[in-house]
Amino acid sequence: MITVLGAGAFGTSLAISLARTGQPVALWARSGVTEMQASRVNTRRLPSAPFPESLTVIDALSSMSTEGPVLLAVPMQQLRGFLTEHADLLANRTLIAACKGLDLETHLGPVETIRATLPRAKAALLTGPSFAADIARGLPTALTLACKDAVLGKTLQQALTTPNLRIYRTTDTAGAELGGALKNVIAIACGACIGKGMGDSARAALMTRGFAEMQRLALRRGALPETLTGLAGFGDLALTCTSALSRNYRFGLALGRQEHFDTSITVEGIPTANAVVAWAKELNVDMPICSAVAVLSTGKISVSEALQNLLSRPLKEE
């Protein structure tokens, strides 16, 4: 039995993809359970993706199976509190985070948050370039499974692979965490660039220089270079910075166009940018684009001012 905790779009899509193989999957939701049980679809998040027969929707964590891995599809800024609240049920389980970002208070990524909160749990991370709608439709998608325990990583890789979901594995949890977190910040910058009408050439420059920032910080934190150039880093960056399906990119578009953005939509790049700025200062790592996004998201400067600040930096070698 595989259990998915969190019935947002991504958690629901993973549950659907896994259940299509015929294996039993339980999807826990905070609300709307009765409706989903009756309609066999998540009408709020993925209305065009019906549930397979082997997918069960539950409303009580106490009723979930005591065996098999648990996918944590909850927002990064809620992860620590969620683990603390349900520590009695999750303390000794295999927990796979399916969220991206850095905790604004601790600056820890998903795997490190699990380890710090529930040290007896076995922690892993599922990340990479993916949109929930694509996974739910059965479109081909490749993700990275990061787990320090190589043997456990192989077991989880087999358990999570489906006909449309190809899983690669790595033991570099730091690189996978930071690739998935930092690309959201760069996506906001790219969205603002396009929203302001600066063009694709400017976006390409932001993506390239943003990727250099991602590498600088991640390598200082012990990440492997190949992780950043793989699905968890460059792959996710390419997708998130070029598609309006990305919440972070859409937030940037709204900033550039000076349009209202729905505050109920989770934009992980905002708290991550602020965490990164504090972290970079401690490590003495230069992160000008991430710093610009942190200030830009507060409304203290305009997109034009942020761009001018970046362009006025001293010239240097690439």
| Residues with a known catalytic role | 183
Record the tokens describing residue 283, joined without a space.
């490590």
Longest dimension (CA), the chain: 62
- Rounded to an integer, what distance in angstroms lies between the CA atom of residue 274 and that of residue 185? 10
185 three-state secondary structure:
helix
Residue pair 181/155 in contact (Cβ under 8 Å)? The answer is: no
Rounded (10°) angle between helices 173-195 and 110-117: 130
Sign of dihedral through CA atoms 310, 313, 315, 318?
negative
CA distances from 178 to 68, 103, 278 (A): 27, 12, 15
Place of tokens 């396009």: 194
**CB-based contacts of 305: which residues, under 8 Å, 6+ apart?**
none
Residue pair 228/214 in contact (Cβ under 8 Å)? The answer is: yes
CA 259 to chain centre: 25
Sign of dihedral through CA atoms 309, 311, 314, 316?
positive
Record the tokens describing residue 19, joined without a space.
């259940």
- Rounded to an integer, what distance in angstroms lies between the CA atom of residue 104 and that of residue 272? 7
- Rounded to an integer, what distance in angstroms lies between the CA atom of residue 155 and that of residue 180? 22
- Rounded to an integer, what distance in angstroms lies between the CA atom of residue 172 and that of residue 289? 25
Residue pair 156/94 in contact (Cβ under 8 Å)? The answer is: yes
Phi, psi of 139 (to 5 degrees): -80, 150
